[in-house]
Amino acid sequence: MTASTLITHIGSLVTNDPSLPGADPASGPLGLLRDAAVVVEGDRVAWAGPAAGAPATDNAVDVGGRALLPGFVDSHSHLVFAGDRTAEFAARMSGRPYSAGGIRTTVAATRAASDDELSATVGRFVAEALRQGTTTVETKSGYGLTTRDEARALRIAREHTQETTYLGAHIVAPEFADDPAGYVALVTGEMLDACAPHARWVDVFCEQGAFDGDQARAVLQAGQARGLTPRVHANQLTHGPGVQLAVELGAASADHCTHLTDADVDALAGSGGATVATLLPGAEFSTRAVYPDARRLLDAGVTVALSTDCNPGSSFTSSMPFCVAVAVRDMGMTPDEAVHAATYGGARALRRDDVGTITAGARADLQLLDAPSHVHLAYRPGVPLTSAVWRGGKLAYRR
């Protein structure tokens, strides 16, 4: 028989389930409970509610008035890589603009790395993210750009997460610089055949310097034909067709969404949450670019996620708390909205209903803050507030 554990004396509990009895109506979708408790059985949440109504359990953990949240869901990262782009970052901070071309530096280093080196890198960043409250991570290929290297990237990624994305269409491989059509044929043919068994998603960088709308459509539709669900790097550097294409093809997310027309916003809102706008503030922070306007999207009724975009070139951070703080400071989000986007929003971007919430039946992926409220994530930026993390009901980290 599975033992049950009561986590009690929770000062504030973010459930993302406003229907729970006792949830503060003023907190909206955050479903905030005060003086709350949670019961964990096995890898699931068995009960959540006011502490006074908690059922009897086998064990109890008193968290002393701290805040408990769902584990962060980081729905966009690029962790399978080798090499270092410190010089590029330093040059950019000295005035050189960011472009998609810097990816080639990482491609060369990644191709030269061993499987063990790449796996160790992914494991290190997944563990680093866990210590900051992240319990679900999506990650992509895209730094190999050959059939062999893309397939091995996904095999390695799958050792660390089930949320793996085929991104052979990150940029045109250097060998195909004069034949982009030939590279698209490779990505939609032989490379896809090798990669599809190791991936859940297919992605494309639809952007000037990468792939245009017609090329992106071909990549995404080929992936769909092999059972992969689309997500799109859309409208990061310029206005473009990425968002519209994402909605048209039923993509789970349009990621970046920095440069949007009214029609783009309307399309995302019209998807009814089927296509999530995933915002990646680490990229704008690290490239000194304009931030996406989260307020505009939220006011239009668009489902919004926050993610790190952890990668060695344009957003070398694994910190979801950092992204929450930047979103509140520079993107027009309230602390409640930013935390909701970093948990529930990320789960929706991965089409998961078992993570991103603390409600009966959800996975017991929980994070405890050394603070009385989730607001401290934005109120105390840069401070390591995560004091404990449970993943699948097991204590995975304690400070």
Domain count, the chain: 2
The pair phi, psi for residue 260, each rounded to 5°, is: -125, 140
Residue-wise over 368-385: b if at least 16 C-beta within 10 A, else e?
bbbbebbbbbbeeeeeeb
- CA distances 188 to 106, 121, 166, 340, Å, are 22, 28, 11, 36
Are 187 and 302 found together in one domain?
A: yes
Task: Judge if 374 and 243 occupy the same domain.
Answer: no
**Distant-in-sequence, close-in-space partners of 281: CB < 8 Å, separation ≥ 6:** 291, 292, 306, 323, 326, 327, 330, 331
The predicted pLDDT at position 87 comes to 85
Whether the CB-CB separation of 136 and 344 falls below 8 Å is answered with no
Question: What is the per-residue pLDDT for 92?
Answer: 87
Q: Which domain holds residue 54?
A: 4-71+357-398
335 & 304 share domain: yes
Measured in Å, how far apart are the chain's first and last C-alpha atoms? 30
274 and 292 co-located in one domain:
yes
Is residue 64 domain-shared with residue 87, that is, in the same domain? no
Report pLDDT for 101.
59
Q: Which two tokens stand for residue 340?
A: 């909701």
Of 261, 226, 232, nearest in space to 246 by CA: 232
pLDDT, tens digit, 9 for 90 and up, residues 84-129: 999 888 888 888 776 655 788 899 999 999 999 999 999 999 999 9
Shared domain check, 201 and 101: yes
Q: If you ran DSSP here, which 8-state letter would residue 380 be given?
A: S
CATH number at residue 23: 2.30.40.10
Verify that 234 and 333 share a domain, yes or no. Answer: yes
Q: Are residues 60 and 148 both part of a single domain?
A: no
pLDDT at 34 (0 to 100): 97
So what's the pLDDT on residue 297? 98
CA distances from 152 to 49, 128, 199, 370 (A): 45, 23, 11, 39
- Ranges of residues in the chain with a pLDDT under 50 are none
What's the whole-model pTM score?
0.97
CA 264 to chain centre: 21
Query: Are 93 and 191 in the same domain?
Result: yes
Tell me, what's the pLDDT at 102?
77
Both 206 and 290 in a single domain? yes
Do 104 and 234 share a domain, yes or no? yes
CATH number of the domain enclosing 275? 3.20.20.140
Residue 13 shares a structural domain with residue 126: no
